Structure 1
Amino acid sequence: MDSLALQIKNAALDMGYEKCGIIKVSDMYSYEEKLDERIERLPHTKPFYDRYYKFARIQESHPWAKSVVVCVRRYGKYKIPEHLKGMVAKYYLVDSRTDENSKDFQDSLSFEKALQDMGLRAETERKYGFTALRWAAIKAGLGIVRRNNFFYTENGSWVYLEAWLIDKELEAIETPNLRPCSDKCNLCIKACPSASLSQPYTMNPMACVSCITTFMGRDMPNERYKEEIGDWVYGCDACQDVCPMNINRWKEAEDFPYLEELSKEISLKKIIKMDYDFLENVMQPKFWYIPKQDVWKWKANAINAMVNNYKEQYKESIYEACKDSHEKVREMAEWAIHKLNI
């Protein structure tokens, strides 16, 4: 391994990353084939996946880039408030990509500076990324993708990925030592509430509960999968929670900054009562897959969860939502009243 590549890897490990690999930008070209395969399996998803071909063609937008440094960090170590499990996906509760209060975010900044101090031009995109992170991590040999489409290391799928473009061609590739999924195992497919995961290694984003409750699902009264969403308000953990390769991989050993305090403000009834200043300035920066102009969606999602697991105590909240300042919330509340006949 090149001495500079080794220096980069060691710096990443010193910053708390579980793994670090480096691939050539050209190694991402093969991602196009994976997109082609996905679209061939589910042709109606083409409009959704077309936007990701740019992830295979990095040099079209970053002509200076020569390599991709990809790092793995474990998030399955944080304490999750019990009442939010099954309501808000764990990843989003401890998402450090833009959370300046978290050590993970500060370590990311420090690692980027370390790259630059090595004389490298290094750039990243902390929210959505500039390339297909899972594919980059696979090419770097840092782990494998299992039948539920999630990337796994020895710590299961409770890890997130970061990547930087650098202006020097380097390689640092590992060989993963992970047992593959059994061909007989279909627990993740059976657990998927909306059958978005209808076959291994594929996914219909239009049916995915996580997608619908975050950056899709803007017409919840007419949403095809609103009943399948169940109790979820933001995200979904179903296919990861049942995976045998995730058993005992989550260790609730550390507190995530301010999560316990924020969790006290979140319940189905409290979401209905949230004013829009709180939604826009507290909730949205934390859960940024729902943009500021759409924070009303939290209330629509909460009403949907109330309908799917109705309790008499929700009646007052649903009627209260009929007076909400946003038309979409009022529309959802009126639908719920009609649906529940209350």
Structure 2
Amino acid sequence: CRASTAGSMVSLDNKLNSYMREVFIMTPNQLADEIYHQARLAGYDDCGIIPIEEMDEYQERLQERLQHVPGSRPFYEQIKPTMNSRQRFPWAKSIIICTWWMGRYSLPDSLQGKYARAFFLAPNVTMDDEEKRKKGAFKEWLTAQGLRWDGGDNGIPFQIGGLRHAAMKAGLGIIRKNNFLYTEHGSFVELEGFSIDASCVLRQHHDIKPCAPQCHLCQNHCPTQALSAPFTMNPLQCVSFWNTFGKSQLPPGFPEKAMESWIIGCDACQNACPYNQVPSAKPEKGVPELIRNAMHWLDPENMKDASDEVLKEKVLPLCHEHIQELDTLRRSAIRYLKNQKGQ
């Protein structure tokens, strides 16, 4: 009886969605334009929409990565099911992809080279209450249109599939040799995706120059050679993997010195890129309040001895949900101090 009731409710929801869409009667172009308008009101820098079929190409890129970097297979095989957008969302017809420039805020000089911007300057760290309200209103608007949707949880890895691929297909930027998506502001960009059950397309246009063929700065500055060639990556050799998801427990044969001064994440390949030094990549605002309040505890000497309560309150909120275990922070702080003494 419960199963029958649940099935009836799903059927009713689908009929209601269809009815609401008929009431509002928007053409695909009108819907795409309105989605863009609402995304900008929500605080996103840009927005594009692609047919969900275009996510299939990402599966091909994933297979190419496995062929070029066989050592990455354990990682990519584990996440492979999350990358098949059409299988995960069989009801979806389009993918909305939005960008949020994290570089609008500053990271203190004392933290650079230790803490990655992708964590400390992410929207959930920098947004004030009004910005959070506006961002939440975008999801409410999608629901109000009678759209079925999923995704939109920034900070949750693999939310709807390959977000960088989707952003590139939507014309929001290009993927450079270090595998990051670049807009005119550079690569410190948060991507947020939504799958929806309506067909519409919105492609943006940019004038972003590709990487110079002779440039290998990102590869040369990768501390662990995780970037062994352009457009390749072995996450199991990446500093940012081991001091976040890897819980700062390095595998046998992985030298501690290779982690250099990085405590949370790693920006080495992005910091070396000249396209992150352009005028449009300069911060517009100061240091976020959450970072200012945590400065004392971000000092490695203080972090390694901090109580659980302090780390939960002051540091974990800056980690963009990539670290859950407090010992990960302590291990990384101790390793940093050890590496500094060895210099």
Change (3 A) 1:33 1:306: same
Show CA shifts across 1:223-260 (max 9, x none).
60321111110001111111111114131524424221
Return 5+ residue gaps in structure 1 as ranges.
Answer: 312-339
CA distance in 1: counterparts of 2:85 and 2:299, whole angstroms: 41
CA distance in 2: counterparts of 1:142 and 1:281, whole angstroms: 35
> 1:84 aligned to 2:111?
yes
Percent identity between matched residues is 32
The aligned residue for residue 286 of structure 1 is 318
TM-score (norm 1): 0.84
| Structure having greater relative contact order (Cα 8 Å, sep ≥ 6) | 2
CA distance in 2: counterparts of 1:183 and 1:212, whole angstroms: 30
Please report how far the alpha carbon of residue 43 of structure 1 lies from its aligned counterpart in structure 2 after TM superposition.
0.9
> 1:60 aligned to 2:90?
no
Paired AA for residue 153 in structure 1 = T
The aligned residue for residue 309 of structure 1 is 340
Q: Report matched runs for 1:1-342 at 5 Å.
A: 2-97=29-124, 101=128, 104-124=131-151, 125-126=153-154, 127-128=156-157, 129-220=159-250, 222=252, 224-247=254-277, 248=279, 249-287=281-319, 288-291=321-324, 294-310=325-341
Q: Is the 8 A contact 1:207 1:225 kept in 2?
A: no
Return 5+ residue gaps in structure 2 as ranges.
Answer: 1-27
Please report how far the alpha carbon of residue 59 of structure 1 lies from its aligned counterpart in structure 2 after TM superposition.
3.3
Paired AA for residue 53 in structure 1 = K
Change (3 A) 1:106 1:203: farther
Change (3 A) 1:255 1:83: closer
Q: Is the 8 A contact 1:99 1:105 kept in 2?
A: no
Q: 96-105 or 191-200, which moves further after superposition?
A: 96-105
Q: Is the 8 A contact 1:220 1:300 kept in 2?
A: no
Q: 112-121 or 198-207, which moves further after superposition?
A: 112-121
The aligned residue for residue 6 of structure 2 is none
Please report how far the alpha carbon of residue 90 of structure 1 lies from its aligned counterpart in structure 2 after TM superposition.
1.4
CA distance in 2: counterparts of 1:286 and 1:301, whole angstroms: 15
Please report how far the alpha carbon of residue 218 of structure 1 lies from its aligned counterpart in structure 2 after TM superposition.
4.5
TM-score (norm 2): 0.84
Show CA shifts across 1:118-173 (max 9, x none).
22222213311221110110111111000111100111112110011111111111
